[in-house]
Amino acid sequence: MKIVDIKAFPTSFRVPKENQVSLGIGTMTKRDCVLVKVTTEDGIVGWGESHHARAPGTIGHLVNTTLRGLVLGMDATDTTGIWAKIYKMQLGSHGAGAATAMAMSGLDQALWDIKGKATGWPLYKLLGGTNRPVPAYAGGISLGYQPPDALAAEAVPMVEAGYRALKLRVGDSVKADIARMTAVRRRFGDDIAILTDANTGYSVADARQVMPAMDELNIAWLEEPFPAHDHRSYAMAKGFGRTPLAAGENHYTRFEFHRVIEDGNITILQPDLSKSGGITEVQRIAAAASMWKLPIHPHSSMTGLNQAVSIHFLAAIDNGGYFEADLSVANKFRDDLGSEPWRISKDGCVRPLDKPGIGVEIDEKFLEAHPVIEGPGYV
């Protein structure tokens, strides 16, 4: 099962103004993704998603040049050996750091897709799991900055569809954030879990002011109030209230999660299977977290491919938490790029796909019709 070809497809589409969402890092004006296609000598094709890093052409180029050169000719089933080679030759020293972690994540997913197709097993079964229900929350690029009543109204169809947890965007102003959280809590009562994500938009002073209000509103977590490297601010904020701190989508490999776990300030861990090193590496992160009784709530990336992988993964670990269901409006990467990745049930859960491998069929004509649009995706 030697690898004979590796190709990355950076792709983009513009977001119409009426569908743009504002959050802690700005307003999204376009969506990007990078899909990775791996082909074996047997003709088996696997697909994976590398996070775009807000520089999709760069991530695609890294896959198509450096990683391709390192991995071509290796056994596609040797996911551990391939990961180790990339770490030794690229990631561990002078190797583009987080960009390499993202690039190798999509490659690793594609290799697991190949293993599933070769054996006829769905990914969750390869990983030791079962086809069990996984609780989901309404997330993705949705429920952003808008008037409180409008925000509550946007959430109504999500709750009616079955979601029992919602993630709100905070990091605007403390006053506005509290007003939005309060409106949603009043609208839905205590039966709905409310999660929040600041997208690194808070200062320490903001966190000190907002967290007591979050305690009063029974907020389930405060995600990424600060950048991933700002360990001191996380340590300070831990004492500002009872609301747990969450992070992980911008932590790369088990080596960065090691400090997070041992510090004990962040107790909701959110590695992204398209950013943190792929399935092979996030397995290791989840195992380390389980020793400390910490849950894994994966961050979802852009496409239905990543989202399907996340569900498979959650169905196969013993410390899995929520699946982040991307409910952003008009997401072509979820709706048009591939086959249906998941479906919510009335009990607020999703299940992994039962087809071999990841189970999402990719439309390559979509990739051809949506070439990469370089430049920032948030303004």
Residues 325 and 210 in one domain: yes
d(CA 280, CA 197): 27
Is residue 357 one of the residues assigned to a domain? no
Residues 207 and 105 in one domain: no
Give the β-pairing of 221-223 and 245-247: parallel
Residues 116 and 129 in one domain: no
Please name which of 79, 50, 54 lies closest in space to residue 63, comparing C-alpha atoms: 50
d(CA 9, CA 106): 11
Asked whether the predicted pLDDT for residue 94 surpasses 90, the reply is: no
Cβ atoms 339, 360 nearer than 8 A: yes
Identify the pLDDT of residue 301.
86
Cβ atoms 166, 158 nearer than 8 A: yes
Residues 102 and 204 in one domain: no
d(CA 331, CA 13): 9
Residue type for position 280: T
Find the domain containing 65 and state its range.
3-120+364-369
Cβ atoms 344, 139 nearer than 8 A: no
By residue count, the chain amounts to 379
Asked whether the predicted pLDDT for residue 18 surpasses 90, the reply is: no
Q: What percent of the chain has pLDDT over 70?
A: 100
CA angle 374, 59, 330 (to 5 degrees): 55
Residues 67 and 197 in one domain: no
Is residue 375 one of the residues assigned to a domain? no
Identify the pLDDT of residue 330.
85
Is residue 358 one of the residues assigned to a domain? no
d(CA 376, CA 371): 15
Asked whether the predicted pLDDT for residue 26 surpasses 90, the reply is: no
Residues 43 and 131 in one domain: no
Is residue 202 one of the residues assigned to a domain? yes
Identify the pLDDT of residue 360.
98
Tokens of 285: 């992160």
pLDDT bracket for residue 23 (50, 70, 90):
confident
- Number of structural domains (the chain) is 2
- Over residues 51-79, mean pLDDT: 97
Distance, CA of 30 to chain centre: 18
Q: Which residue has the tokens 């009426």?
A: 18
Is residue 355 one of the residues assigned to a domain? no
Residues 14 and 37 in one domain: yes
Residues 71 and 134 in one domain: no
- Over residues 169-183, mean pLDDT: 97
Asked whether the predicted pLDDT for residue 276 surpasses 90, the reply is: yes
Q: Could you tell me the CA-to-CA distances from 143 to 134, 170, 225, 353 in Å, in that order?
A: 22, 10, 17, 27
Is residue 265 one of the residues assigned to a domain? yes
Residues 219 and 149 in one domain: yes
Which CATH number belongs to the domain containing residue 225 in this structure? 3.20.20.120
Give the β-pairing of 26-27 and 30-40: unpaired
Identify the pLDDT of residue 25.
83
Is residue 374 one of the residues assigned to a domain? no
In tens, the pLDDT along 284-327 reads 999 999 999 999 999 998 899 999 999 999 999 999 999 999 99
d(CA 88, CA 66): 13
Which CATH number belongs to the domain containing residue 79 in this structure? 3.30.390.10
Q: Which residue has the tokens 């997208």?
A: 199
Identify the pLDDT of residue 273.
98
Residues 74 and 217 in one domain: no
Is residue 193 one of the residues assigned to a domain? yes
Residue 70 carries which DSSP code? H
Classify 357 as helix, strand or coil. Answer: strand
Residues 301 and 154 in one domain: yes
Residues 93 and 137 in one domain: no
Residue 17 carries which DSSP code? G
In tens, the pLDDT along 277-286 reads 999 999 999 9
